[in-house]
Chain A
Amino acid sequence: MIRIIRVMCTGRVDPAFVVWALANEFDAVLVVGCRIGDCHYSSGNLAARRRMRILQAFIKKNGLPPERLRVEWISSAEATKFSKLVEEYAGQVKALGPMQKDDGTRLRLLAMKRALEEEKVRWLIGNEKKLVEEGNVFGDKLDQERFDAAVLGALEDEFNKNLIAVALEKAPASVPELAALSGLKEPAVGEYLVALEQAGRIAPVAGHEEYARYTKI
């Protein structure tokens, strides 16, 4: 069954919304906007297309089927096309099965959402056209592969950091516990903890255990 959320333009669709939907028990998200070249808001769908492409790669990198997100461009006059798409996609999503709803998955999805809300990531995603197509003031352009690698790298970094942050929001934890939970090596966990501590988001808990435990502020 599908539930429709109306926005002014696909340009309004923040990638974080898509992940938020997956974290809130929706099994898949379909983003539908005006046909490319026919955007009611001139170019909002082009911005959305760039964002959603990166988001799909990010979803895939996190071990979720990229088909959980689908992006289609259909005119409001193409009712039959829309209904066929919905039926076909609903079948595809049924075949994928429901999203896992365990705590671990939800934690990872929340971390993904936070990563998509981080400044560095958003700056890169928002500047794709400029960096890849238009080039900087010297006319230097980034090729698509390098750009994608840079964004996905930044996303992974922010994801790891936020995974630790959301875990600590649930309960205080030590470095080895966080390493086990995130799959990161302990020194890496340490680095993220330092970054989070400097940002004033977490603090060590006073105590006499073998490992210091950290908690959210």
Chain B
Amino acid sequence: MPDEVTQKEAAPDPGAPRIGVFVCHCGANIAGFVDIEAIENHARALPNVAFTQRNLYTCSETGLREIKTAIAAQKLNRVVVASCSPRTHEPLFRSACREAGLNPFLFEFVNIRDQCSWVHMQQREGATRKAKELIQMGVARAALLEPQEDITVGVAGKALIIGGGISGITATMSIARRGFQVILVEREKELGGILKNVHKLYPTMGSAGDLIGKNIRAVQKMPRVQVLTSARLVEVSGFVGNYKVTIDSEGKRIEDTVGVIVVATGARLLTPEGLFQYNGRNIVTQGELELLLKQGRLDADSIVMIQCVGARVPGREYCSRVCCMTAIKNAILIREAQPETAVFVLYRDIQTYGTLYEEDYRRARELGVSFIRYNLSKPPVVSSDKVIVHDELLGEDVPIPFDLLALATPLIPQAGFDELSKALKVPVDENGFFLEAHAKLRPVDFATDGIFLCGCARWPSDIGESVSQALAAAARASIPLSQGHVKVEPIVSQVDQNRCIGCGLCETVCSYVGIHLTDTPKGKKAETIRASCKGCGTCGASCPQKAIRMSHFTDGQIEAQICALVGTDK
């Protein structure tokens, strides 16, 4: 059963605490700046401490062996290591405990290096006292630690891709090629997205129509792929491995269970109503100019392009990233085909990052495209057939007559992004673009497990970038699919349903669908969805009935740590 959450039978009660405290010298890193012997002696006298030992390096082969030996010989059922940071070493010490037959959650970490010997390097006495007290607090907490067992969740071998543009199609094919079922949902009647209206692509100058056409045909023929057009996601519930989705496609309701979801909803171009006399005839958007070029209907002797129209302005501060290269590409195409046509690009800053794009910028200038810099404080003034631009470099107003004025407007979030964001419980940024879990380390993941994103849904990106992101998202999404199950850290909330009154506050404050109200014979009660609970504890700290217990960070454990020092002078 894919939606079954399995957890081994709760580990046996470890019994009355017998705590082993291991104090690490870290060479001279710790021992050189504190009185390490005094620290060990202090630890030995603490309640429930059955054994103490100093190690030159607790994390070395020898140190780990000493822990394992002591667990067996001294019948330790809790281990405290006083050394460095859990960020780097917690997994190591936990697995040492596991190897010695001790549940890894009966391990407690005290950081006397970063928090004592390093920050108080010049204060030996104070650092020593602080180390003693941090260990005292750690021991108090350790006495109350409970064993936890890993939680494993089955994963449905199917993916849902939302959005049938180049990103969504690429992600679909990539996942299907790995042997998994994929449902591709497109809101429009046809696949293709924004590329359907694009003429040629920079920097290859290949045809956008050919590229997207080839991809559409390929995805439609692909085994394991179900393409749904005129379709939208109506409802979603569940968690990684087991998202229950309801899709409306051409009036038909389709229900299914998918293991992962990829958001590839793209973006749309801003229509510059009220900006620079936009009229859709001789004053058009760069996107409409694409269409004129594509249909071979461009007829103008003087073309002016204005950049950053409605972008990088108060209220829409971001750079849309693709408009500079789009303008340069179109300017090159026009000058190559009709060298007698004058092309002016009025810009604020030119973004042609990287090797190929900068080359195109150079080429456009060689082809005689005029680049004129304007300042946001003195924007170009447009009348019916002429633009007056204040040239930043000349310091004077320059009138330029035009037959066609093309306004480069930014990509903006797709309509309906907020509904999708709410349905999936994934965040958007202040502009309405979907927000990844981490800009650098997890660029195509959402913070919610099992949901990924790529392409312009995230922020404006060109074809190459969108395809890279789609392949990345597909690869990330395939991890749980190919494993068939996901392991979840067992630090989760536990509801005492006898105390719970079903008020639902926990569900409201949870950002992860980690807890929800469910019908029980005694009425509505909260229930943890262990697969999606992240253990942050927000529900536990909010519960009016105090019916939620946060495993590994219980009220009792935290309060014991707080009051462990009563009577000592802090």
Contacts from A to B (Cβ < 8 Å): 1, 3-9, 11-17, 20-21, 24-27, 41-44, 47-48, 51, 83, 117, 119-120, 122-123, 125-127, 130
Contact = CB atoms under 8 A, between A and B. Distances in A.
Contact of B561 (A5, A13, A42): A5
B550 A12 contact: yes
A7 B553 contact: yes
B555 interface: yes
Contact of B511 (A8, A20, A25, A44): A44
A41 B505 CA distance: 17
Contacts of B491: 8
A199 B546 CA distance: 17
Contacts of A16: 555
Interface of B: 86, 111, 115, 119, 126, 129-130, 133-134, 137, 427, 447, 491, 503, 505, 508-509, 511-512, 534-538, 540-546, 550, 553, 555, 558-559, 561-563, 565-567, 570
Contacts of A14: 540-541, 555
A26 B134 CA distance: 14
Contact of A5 (B86, B137, B538, B544): B137
A44 B563 contact: no
A11 B537 contact: yes
B550 A43 contact: no
Contacts of B447: 41-42
B566 A25 contact: yes
Nearest to B545: A119
Given A3-B565, A25-B566, A42-B511, 10 more contacts: A1-B570, A3-B137, A5-B558, A8-B536, A11-B537, A14-B540, A20-B563, A41-B447, A42-B427, A125-B542
Given A12-B550, A126-B509, A24 B544 contact: no
Given A12-B537, A41-B536, A47 B137 contact: no
A24 B546 CA distance: 22
Contact of B542 (A1, A24, A26, A47): A47
A19 to B, nearest CB: 10
Given A11-B538, A122-B544, A123-B505, A24 B562 contact: yes
Given A12-B536, A25-B566, A7 B511 contact: no
Nearest to A125: B542
A12 B553 contact: yes
B137 A8 contact: no
A122 B543 CA distance: 7
A8 B119 CA distance: 23
B130 A1 contact: yes
Nearest 9 CB-CB pairings of A with B: A12-B537, A11-B538, A42-B511, A41-B536, A9-B536, A122-B544, A126-B542, A14-B541, A24-B563
Contacts of B503: 123
A126 B559 contact: no
Given A1-B126, A41-B534, A47 B563 contact: no
Contacts of B565: 3, 24-25
Contacts of B129: 1
Nearest to B540: A12
Given A17-B559, A25-B565, A117 B546 contact: yes
Contact of A126 (B133, B544, B562): B544
Contacts of A47: 509, 538, 541-542
Nearest to A21: B562
B562 A4 contact: no
Contacts of A4: 111, 115, 134
A8 B493 CA distance: 12
B542 A122 contact: yes
Residue with the greatest number of chain B CB neighbours at <10 A, chosen from A8, A16, A51: A8
Contacts of B562: 5, 17, 20-21, 24, 26
A150 B78 CA distance: 45
B508 A130 contact: yes
26 contacts: A3-B134, A3-B570, A4-B134, A6-B86, A7-B537, A8-B534, A8-B537, A9-B537, A9-B538, A11-B509, A12-B541, A14-B555, A25-B565, A25-B567, A26-B570, A41-B447, A42-B447, A48-B541, A119-B545, A122-B546, A123-B503, A123-B505, A125-B542, A126-B508, A127-B505, A130-B508
A4 B119 CA distance: 13
Nearest to B87: A76
Residue with the greatest number of chain A CB neighbours at <10 A, chosen from B137, B535, B544: B544
Contacts of B126: 1
Nearest to B109: A6
A6 B570 CA distance: 18
A64 to B, nearest CB: 17
A77 to B, nearest CB: 11
B502 to A, nearest CB: 12
A104 B545 CA distance: 28
A119 B535 CA distance: 22
Contacts of B509: 11, 43, 47, 126
Contacts of A122: 542-544, 546
A131 B508 CA distance: 12
A127 to B, nearest CB: 7
Contacts of B553: 7-8, 12
Contacts of A15: 541
Contacts of B540: 12, 14
A49 B194 CA distance: 42
Contacts of B550: 8, 12
